[in-house]
Amino acid sequence: MFDVLVYLYENYWRPDACPEPRQLSRKLSAVGFEREEIQEALDWLEGLAGAADSAEHAAPGSGLRVYTDAESEHLGEASIGFISFLASAGVLRPPMREMVIDRAMAIPGGPLPLEDLKIIVLMVFWSLGEEPDALILDELFVADEDRLIH
């Protein structure tokens, strides 16, 4: 599913630039994605659209976020740390943070790998039509072992 999401991010500027779901499904299939993977991604994106609508109408929240036991277990320490880092840096406003958590909780299994969480963060920006700045894109795309320390 995450490969499909990355493909959409790379090939469509915004969600409204994507074709309707049936046509998009055919295009993704033609590119080589499996039917089940496509359906999972489309279902997840539908949830993302709902979360974006809710976030648009949400009252501004505080910066403090207390995670439930289920969220802590599902997200894992690394993902919660990364969300906290982005929130404290002012990159994830509270409604965006809640979208990230909502969509991360929609992924089966756990704890969620940090690489998957980074794709979720990227897709939240994408769904809102926002482009993260270059330093944040670097955090989302470059693996720690590939970073050059100057």
Q: What is the largest CA-CA distance in the chain?
A: 48
Question: Tokens 């840096």 label which residue?
Answer: 89
Q: How many domains does the chain have?
A: 1
The pTM of the whole model exceeds 0.75: yes
pLDDT truncated to tens, each residue of the chain (150 aa)? 999 999 998 898 788 888 898 999 999 999 999 999 999 999 999 999 888 877 666 656 666 789 999 999 999 999 999 999 999 988 899 999 999 999 999 999 879 999 999 999 999 998 988 888 777 777 776 555 544 444
Distance in angstroms (rounded) separating the CA atoms of residues 90 and 71: 22
Residue whose structure tokens are 């894992």: 76
- Residue identified by tokens 């915004």 is 14
Determine the structural domain holding residue 49 and report its residue range: 2-146
User: Cβ of 31: how many Cβ atoms within 10 Å?
Assistant: 11
Which residue bears the tokens 């359906």?
39
> Burial letters for 118-140: b for 16+ Cβ neighbours within 10 Å, e otherwise?
bbbbbbbbbbbeeebeeebeebb
Q: How far apart are CA 67 and CA 44, in angstroms?
A: 22
